[in-house]
Amino acid sequence: MQALYDFHIHTTYLKCANETMTIPAILERCASLGLKTIAITDHFNRPDVMDLHLQIKEDLRQAQSDLEIYFGVEVNVISSETGEVSINADLVEQAGFEVVIGGVHSSYHEKPDKRSIIDLQQRLMLQVIANPLIDVLVHPWWFNRLEMGPGGATEWLRDMSEIPDDYAVELGEAAVAHNTAIEANWTAVWGNGAYTDEFKEDYKQYFKRIASTGAKISMSTDAHHIDSLDGIHTLAKVLDEIGLPPQQLWRPEPRG
């Protein structure tokens, strides 16, 4: 049995998650699920959301809970050239974010072009991993429903056979070298109906290969609805199945 952590949770503050995701409701559900440590990680795609994040921080400070809670943020890649993300060191400092997670949120393609899409995703993920601001690379190989739907740039992604096996090892080795964790995400992939069962099976093998490098894996639900938090138990079973050693589960380190 894995320890239970959830280091990727959205709230209602930025309206990305729905109205069920208030701070008190999240903390209560996480405690009842047996979680001990969590991170709240809303998006930071524009500087004008700073005030909302500071409100989250204040409400977390006032919350009554025995949970160990980190005030975090999720950022996006904003340049497919450089892999630059939507936050900088000054903003992290200004907000006092304790955990910064981030990753790619687009295929950057309009038409299916397997080789080019796969190689670009891999390069951008490596750039995110190498970014000293980033603690966790989020949801590798996640694409939105429009991209995965009919006519979408990644509609061919029915399994992982097109993705070279050594890409997993390359990602894991980079994660070790840069002390960045790689996220096992419930809502984005294993709990996502847009992915096939074949893909989800392949994704287990993919994580097995990543784990074989010694890379740390971050558990997350990426919940946008209160019931999605429950997925953490199924995710823990998946990680058990993969044989992930408990010491390879990532936990935040004090920043500094």
Give me the residues that bind Zn ion (CB under 5 A), please: 74, 222
- Rounded-to-integer distance, Cα 248 and Cα 215, Å: 7
Sheet containing strand 99-103, strands side by side: 5-9, 37-43, 68-76, 99-103, 136-137, 181-185, 217-220
Q: What distance in Å separates the CA atoms of residue 241 and residue 251, rounded to the nearest whole number?
A: 20
Judged by CB, which is closer to Zn ion: 98, or 222?
A: 222
Nearest residue (CB) to Zn ion, 6 versus 222: 222
Helix (H, G, I), strand (E, B) or coil at 100: strand
- For the chain, helix, strand, coil in percent to 5 are 40, 15, 40
- Residue of closest CB approach to Zn ion: 222
| Pick 41 or 213: Cβ nearer Zn ion | 41
What is the three-class DSSP state of 103?
strand
Least distance CB 14 / Zn ion (angstroms): 11
What is the closest distance, in whole angstroms, from the C-beta atom of residue 92 to Zn ion in the complex?
A: 17
- Which residue number, 138 or 213, has a Cβ lying nearer to Zn ion? 138
CB-nearer residue toward Zn ion: 213 or 226: 226
Considering Cα of 105, then 109, then 112, then 118, what sign does the dihedral take? negative
Distance in Å, CB of 245 to Zn ion, minimum: 26
Q: How far is the CB of 237 from Zn ion (least distance, A)?
A: 22
Instruction: Name the residue with tokens 């690379």.
Output: 137
Task: Tell me how far, at minimum, the Cβ of 49 lies from Zn ion, in Å.
Answer: 14
